[in-house]
Amino acid sequence: MDLKTLSFAGRTALVTGGAQGIGQAIARQLAELDAKVIILDVNAEKAEETCREIGCGCSFRRVDLSDGDALSAAMERLIREVERVDVLINNAGVVNTSDFETLSRADWDRVLAIDLTAVFLTSQAVFRNMAANGGGRIVNVASIAGKVGGGYLGTAAYAAAKAGVISLTKSIAKSGAGRGICCNSVCPAYTKTPLVSILTGEKEAKVLSAMALHRAADPAEVANAVLFLASDAASFITGENLNCDGGMLMNG
The residue among 71, 89, 63 whose CA lies nearest residue 11 is: 89
Cite the active site residues: 158
Contact present, 30 and 227 (Cβ < 8 Å): yes
Contact present, 41 and 19 (Cβ < 8 Å): yes
DSSP string for residues in 117-178 = IHHHHHHHHHHHHHHHTT-EEEEEE--THHHHTS-SS--HHHHHHHHHHHHHHHHHHHHHTT
- Round to whole Å and give the CA distance between 225 and 59: 23
How do beta strands 181-188 and 136-141 pair?
parallel
Identify residue 153 by its one-letter amino acid code: L
